[in-house]
């Protein structure tokens, strides 16, 4: 899961280095789009509830259980969402109960009422998602290696930032780059800024020669 770093307030940039992607627990990650304050608070509460469940029950909640718990939290924010303070998460994780490790990676999106929808292959949320998903349709394919998948995610964010003013692209001057997190059988991890920065610089250099294309993995 990858997220840009821009937060906006109307037509102004409110923050350039906000974090929109977090580990939910040892095997899942969560990101959000929408009202930043509510999104961060919901994420912290979600992390706390999963940690509390693990301590009380002595085991992790199933991936479906985590997705359903997040759905109920979104539903609880419906009143605020109807007043314009909506937040929509993107939830993904490695399903330890999956019979086939190839299909163990699962992605969930939600509507404003908390309805969970399992996606296939890839997904995106937020104002720039229409452009990111368009890029993902061309770049993503089953069986990508980790390095290839990370590049695809960063390229999709680049394309989103190219057309959506509320999505921040790689900031080479301030050294602000997308956050990229992995959820695998070994657990969740955040890739180092140095690695993502080097990748972002390579993509920007390639787009200098081919603004609409870039290389393909």
Whether this prediction's pTM lies above 0.75 is answered by yes
Residue of 195, 167, 171 lying closest to 181 (CA atoms)? 195
Q: Could you give the dihedral angle defined by the CA atoms of residues 70, 53, 23 and 161, in that order, rounded to the nearest 10 degrees?
A: 10
**pLDDT per position as a tens digit, 112-169:** 999 999 999 999 999 999 999 999 999 999 999 999 999 999 999 999 999 999 999 9
Q: Starting at the edge strand that comes first in sequence, how are the strands of the sheet with 179-184 ordered?
A: 2-3, 179-184, 187-190
Whole-number CA gyration radius for the chain? 17
**Structure confidence at residue 48 (pLDDT):** 98
The domain locations on the chain are 2-206
In this structure, whether the domain defined by 2-206 belongs to CATH 3.60.20.10 is answered with yes
Q: How many of the other CB atoms lie within 10 Å of CB of 10?
A: 5
pLDDT per position as a tens digit, 70-110 = 999 999 999 999 999 999 999 999 999 998 877 899 999 99
pLDDT for res 216: 52
Q: What is the pLDDT of residue 78?
A: 96
Contact 106, 95 (CB under 8 A): yes
Q: 7 with 36: CB under 8 angstroms? A: yes
């Amino acid at each position: 899961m990858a997220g840009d770093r821009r937060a906006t307030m109307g037509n102004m940039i409110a923050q350039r280095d906000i974090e929109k992607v977090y580990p939910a627990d040892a095997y899942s990650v969560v990101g959000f789009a929408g009202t930043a304050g509510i999104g961060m608070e919901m994420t912290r509460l979600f992390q706390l509830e999963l940690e509390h469940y693990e301590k009380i029950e002595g085991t992790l909640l199933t991936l479906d259980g985590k997705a359903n718990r997040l759905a109920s939290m979104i539903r609880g924010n419906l009143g605020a969402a109807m007043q314009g303070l909506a937040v929509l998460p993107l939830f993904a994780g490695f399903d330890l109960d999956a019979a086939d490790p190839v299909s163990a990676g699962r992605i969930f999106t939600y509507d404003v009422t908390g309805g969970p929808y399992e996606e296939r292959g890839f997904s995106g949320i937020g104002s720039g998602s229409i452009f990111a998903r368009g890029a993902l349709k061309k770049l993503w394919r089953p069986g990508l290696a980790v390095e290839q998948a990370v590049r695809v995610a960063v390229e999709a964010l680049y394309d989103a930032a190219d057309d959506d003013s509320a999505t921040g692209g790689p900031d080479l001057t301030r050294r602000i780059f997308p956050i990229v997190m992995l959820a695998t059988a070994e657990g969740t991890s955040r890739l180092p800024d140095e690695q993502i920065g080097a990748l972002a610089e390579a993509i920007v250099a390639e787009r200098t020669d081919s603004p609409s294309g870039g290389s393909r993995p």
